[in-house]
Structure 1
Amino acid sequence: MGLGGLGLLMTINQTFALKLFGFYPIGNAFIYYLIGIFLAVALLIFPARQTDSERLPWYDWLLAAAALGGSLYLGLNGLRMTQQGWEYFAPLSATLIATMMLLLVLEGVRRCGGWAIFAVALIFGAYPLYAGYMPGFLWSNGFELGETIRAHVMGAESIVGVPMQVVANLIVGFVVFGIALTITGGGEFFMNFATALMGRSRGGPAKVAVVSSAFMGSLSGSAVSNILTTGTITIPAMKRSGYKPEYAAAVEACASTGGTLMPPVMGAVAFIMASFLGVSYGEVMIAALLPAILFYLALLLQVDHYAARKGLQGMPAKDIPRIGTTLVAGWPYLLSLAVLIYMLLAMRLESQAPYYATLVLLGIALFRRQKRLGLKQLGEFFYQLAHGVGNLVAVLAGIGLVVGGLSYTGVAGAFSRELLLYAGDSIPLMLAAGAVTSFILGMGMTVSACYIFLSILLAPALVGAGLNPLGSHLFILYWGMLSYITPPVALAAITAAGVAGANNTRTSLHAVRLGGVLFVLPFLFVLNPSLILQGEVFDIVVSTLTALTAIWLVAAAMEGYLYRVGSVSWPLRGALLIAALLMMYPEGRSDLLGLGMLVVTYGVAFLRQARQVPSPPPPLDQVCHKP
């Protein structure tokens, strides 16, 4: 907790250039200090073995002290390191300390990210050692062991590269804001707000789950943690209303997964994306807004169709708060969000905005009777900060080894060129290859790790093929995220199934159906930049209306229910799905063909409905009676 507070104080000092006690380190020195503090935290919080989960062994203290000492040495020599080129030639003592830090980073990524990310970091981090033995475009000039270690630890492209720079300059502040929102009662407010909005409608509990998870997932950036917080409330409520456990768990899994794509905060990956693209975070936030809304609208439509088909009702009136009362009670949270968005979009103070928003929120909380901050809440605040940032630093420092290994050898550029060569002029083939690659890597890696890896290898090829840069990077992000709801991994679906007491496989299959729009949505906005709000206003409006109609048709096809008709047969569901795909395709007059097929489908459905209506009984005076 103390280390977390120290790391926060150092970050605030650097962000606002306070120069407390004359302390204001240069860029790489500051990052080394931050790595040391939060890597030490990660080594103390996350156990090396499962058997150590209930105790803190002596060697964890030793490793944490080594992380602090090694980073302190590197930070104090940060200026000399840059001026004298220690990346290439360094004193023996510096090389030994760099070796120790490299091993500590690998241990940190193993503990926080698991063996899969550890293996990726080790294999690609060591790539310079065996690049000279690789065939074809994978070949590069090899590095010796000492050169590789120095490049990773003291170079500018690896451990202290873009991922860690984003953590130091941006992400810590947004983690602080998200935690402050939670401990002051923001989760309860957003749950009540969602209930007031959606609770009365049919299938109300499922709609509350979708809306509340969109709010909280946006602020937490973590699908799993969102399920373990809001899901413990929404899943039992859905079950009580008549939803099957697997369906209830799937709704929560999809809604929580999509939260990482919902502005204003999103997840850590959005900030990394902005840095890779060289654009402001506000541009990424605006581009991600419409796709996120379309995804959540598709979820709402599907749960509404399901509720209509099953005859499910809304929540009891006594369980639904008044929306006016809810907004009055939650005005501090709305005000802090407004401050955050204004400073991000209007003032472009990306690094400082979350701290000002947090200050507004905590300042109000000090004078409120309800949710007033005490020592217990402050202790929880610093613990969550240390836990969250420690995990991020450990994982992203390890992923920095992947970035460094591919950058130093130049293999990343060669891979992109080869992909362009093999795909030729076929953009659909390239997108399909990118989707499959993103999905497979997303199975064993976090979304941030998957995105960073593919933004180096795959994104340059997509951009080189003439696709929109921002759309290409969002495409990778969406497909990497799909593994959270798709078998065999389906981490979010399995977590939600555990909360619901449901079968893992059936929950994953339900989640695939509910999140079906995610499988086509990335292709829409990467081929049609209007859907990421880029282009002429008229094109954006037309594309938005077409996409809205298309996702309604997808929802109707998935759930087998059509408004004003009721349940529909499989042939009509297939026709609805084809109409949706035609409207999604951005070229030619396919949207008009889709509309035409929709009209025909409705006509056929009404005719079938009319044939199935039984004839009215004859009048009584016409009924023959036996004498």
Structure 2
Amino acid sequence: MGLGAVGLLMTINQTFALKLLGFYPIGNAFIYYLIGLFLSAALLIFPARKADTERLPWYDWVLAGAALGGAIYLGLNGLRMTQQGWEYFAPLEATLVATMMLLLVLEGVRRCGGWAIFAVALLFGLYPLYAGHMPGFLWSNGFGLGETIRAHVMGAESIVGVPMQVVANLIIGFVVFGIALTITGGGEFFMNFATALMGRSRGGPAKVAVVSSAFMGSLSGSAVSNILTTGTITIPAMKRSGYSREYAAAVEACASTGGTLMPPVMGAVAFIMASFLGVSYGEVMMAALLPALLFYLALLLQVDNYAARKGLTGMPAKDIPRVRETLLSGWPYLLSLSVLIYMLLVMRLESQAPYYATLMLLVISLVRRQQRLRISQVLDFFYQLAHGVGSLVAVLAGIGLVVGGLSYTGVAGAFSRELLLYAGDSIPLMLAAGAITSFILGMGMTVSACYIFLSILLAPALVGAGLNPLASHLFILYWGMLSYITPPVALAAITAAGVAGANSTLTSLHAVRLGAVLFVLPFLFVLNPSLILQGPLLSVIASAFTAMTAIWLVAAAMEGYLYRIGSVGVRMRCALLIPAALMIYPEWISDLLGFLALALCYLIAVMRTTKCAGITKCST
């Protein structure tokens, strides 16, 4: 908690240039201090082994102290490091400290990210050592061990590179806002708001799960933590309403996964993307808005069709709060979100916006008795801050080794050139290769780690092929997310299955069917930038309308229910995919053919229904 409090105070001091007690370190020194504070916190919070879960062993204190001491040494020498080029030639003691910090970063990424990310960080972090022995375009001038260590720890492209700079300058503020929103009762408000909006409709509990997870996922940025909070409420409610365990868990898993990229407060990866692209976070947020809304529209349509086909009803009236009363009780949360959005999109104060929004929320909580914070909540706030940011710092410092290893050797650019060469002029082939690569890497990495790795190797090739840069980066990110709901890993589906007491394999299969649109969405917006709100307004509106129609048809085909017709059979379900496929392709002729095919499907369905009138059993 103390480390989190000091880290927050130092970040606020740096963000607003307060210069408290004359303390205002230069860029790399500030990042070293943050690494020291939050890496130390991670080493204390995340155990080295399962046996240490219930206790804090002495060696964790030693490692945490070493991380803090080493970072302070590097921070105090930050200016000398830059002026004298320590990444090339450094005093012996500096090289020894750098070696210690490198080992501590690897231990931190192992604890917080798992063995898979540890292996990737180690493999690519040490790449400069054996790059001179690699074949073809993978070859590069080799580095010595000392050179490699100094480049990673004291250079500008690795541990203190772009990912860590984004954490220091942007992410911490948004983590603070998300935690403040939660501990002051924001989670309960958004759950009640979703219930008030959707609870009365058929299949109400499932729709509440979708909407509430969209709200909470955007605040936490983590699919798993979202499931463990909202899922403990929504999954039992869905089961009581007639949904099977597996289906209820799948709904929550898909909804929580999509929340990772739901504006206005998105996961850490969105800030990293903005930095890599050299655009504002507001631009990334607006680009992700329509795809996120389309994803949640697809989920709502599918659970609605499922409820209609199964004859499921809404929630009991006594369990549904009134919309007006809910809004009156939760206006501080909506006001703080509005302030945040205004400052992001209009004032463009990205680094300062979350602190102002948090301050407003905390001031209101002091005035309103029902939201007034207790000492235990304040302590919990700092613990959650140390836990959340500590995990991010540990993982992203480790991924920084990957960035550094590929950048220092120049292999990243060579890989992109080779990919363009092999793919030729075939954009579909390149997209397919990118989708498969993103999906496979997403199995073993966090979304942030997967994105950072591929933004270096794959994104330049996609952009070089003529695709929209922002759409290309979003494409990679979306495919990296798919592993959360797709076997064999399906981390979100497995977590939700555990909450529901369901079979994890069946839950994963249900999640794949529910999230089928997510497999299509990346291709939609990477080929049609109008869907990321880039282009003329009329084009955006037309593309959005066509995409929504296509998503409705996919949902109808997946669930076997067509509005105004009712349940439909296998042949009609397959037929509905034809106009959906035509509308997915970004050409007005294919859209026109798609709407004509849709009209034909309805005509056939109506004629079949009329012909079957009075017959006890008739399949479409």
Please indicate, yes or no, whether the TM-score normalized by the shorter chain is above 0.5. yes
Q: CA deviation at 1:188?
A: 0.3
Counterparts of residues 210-229 of structure 1 (less than 5 Å): 210-229=210-229
Q: Which residue of 2 aligns with 1:522?
A: 522
Are 1:397 and 2:371 an aligned pair? no
Deviation per residue, 1:85-134 (Å, 9 max, x gap): 00000000000000000000000000000000000000000000000000
State the distance in 2 between where 1:489 and 1:588 align.
39
| Number of the residue aligned with 1:64 | 64
The equivalent of 2:479 in structure 1 is 479
Q: Which digits, 9 at most, give the CA deviation of each residue in 1:337-376, with x for residues without a partner?
A: 0110000000000000000000000110011111210101
Corresponding residue of 2:188: 188
Question: CA separation in 2, counterparts of 1:3 and 1:173?
Answer: 16
Q: Distance in 2 between matches of 1:394 and 1:230?
A: 27
**How many angstroms apart in 1 are the aligned matches of 2:419 and 2:11?**
40
Aligned to 1:165: 165
Q: What code does the residue aligned with 1:65 have?
A: G
Corresponding letter in the other structure for 1:70: G
Within a 5 Å distance, the mapping from 1:404-553 to structure 2 comes to 404-553=404-553
Aligned equivalents of 2:140, 2:573: Cα separation in 1 = 53
- In structure 2, what is the equivalent of residue 333 of structure 1? 333
Unaligned regions of 5+ residues in structure 1, if any? 617-627
Q: Quick check: 1:589 aligned with 2:619? A: no
Which structure's CA Rg is the greater one? 1
Q: Which residue of 2 aligns with 1:119?
A: 119
Q: What is the one-letter code of the residue matched to 1:12?
A: I
2:368 match: 368
Distance, in Å, in 2 between the alignment partners of 1:45 and 1:374 is: 23
Amino acid corresponding to residue 387 of structure 2 in structure 1 = H
The separation in 1 between residues aligned to 2:484 and 2:36, in whole angstroms, is: 31
Q: C-alpha separation between the residues in 1 aligned to 2:420 and 2:560?
A: 40
Q: For 1:64, give the aligned amino acid.
A: A
Q: State the partner residue of 2:353.
A: 353
Q: Secondary structure at the match of 2:178?
A: helix
What TM-score results when the alignment is normalised by the length of structure 1? 0.98
CA 247–75 in structure 1, closer or farther in 2 if over 3 Å, else same: same
Whole-Å Cα distance in 1 between the matches of residues 237 and 293 of structure 2?
24
Alpha-carbon deviations, 1:474-506, whole Å to 9, x = none?
Answer: 000000000000000000000000000000000
- Corresponding position: 1:242 with 2:223: no
Any residues of structure 2 matched to 1:131-280 within 5 Å, and which?
131-280=131-280
The CA distance in 1 between the partners of 2:215 and 2:505, in whole Å, is: 27
Which amino acid is 1:371 matched to?
A: Q
Deviation at 1:612, TM superposition (A): 2.0
Deviation, 1:615, is 6.6
Distance 1:471 1:315 in 2: 39
Q: SS of the residue aligned with 1:349?
A: coil
What stretches of structure 2 of length at least 5 have no aligned partner? none
Describe the SS at the equivalent of 1:366.
helix
Tell me by how many angstroms 1:587 deviates.
2.7
CA distance in 2, matches of 1:169, 1:206: 38
Q: Tell me the amino acid that sits aligned with residue 479 of structure 2.
A: W
How far 1:30 sits from its partner (Å)? 0.2
Q: Which whole-Å CA distance do the structure 1 matches of 2:166 and 2:536 have between them?
A: 32
Q: Distance in 2 between matches of 1:419 and 1:230?
A: 42
Identical positions, percent: 86
TM superposition shift of 1:569 = 1.0
- Partner residue of 1:301? 301
**Partner Cα distance (1:490, 1:222) in 2:** 14
Cα distance 1:128–1:614, how it changes in 2: closer, same or farther (>3 A)? same
Residue 588 of structure 1: how far off its partner (Å)? 5.1
Structure 1 residue 567 corresponds to structure 2 residue 551: no
Amino acid at match of 1:551: I
What residue in structure 1 maps to residue 16 of structure 2? 16
CA distance in 2, matches of 1:156, 1:571: 59
Aligned to 1:622: none
Alignment of 1:92-103 (within 5 A): 92-103=92-103
Once the two structures are TM-superposed, the CA of residue 237 in structure 1 deviates from its matched residue by 0.2
Q: Distance in 2 between matches of 1:570 and 1:329?
A: 47
Normalising by structure 2, what TM-score? 0.99
**Is the partner of 2:371 in helix, strand or coil?**
coil
- Once residues 176 and 541 of structure 1 are traced to their aligned partners in structure 2, the CA distance between those partners, rounded to angstroms, is 35
Say if 1:371 and 1:152 are closer, same or farther in 2 by CA, change over 3 A: same
Stretches (4+) displaced over 6 A = none
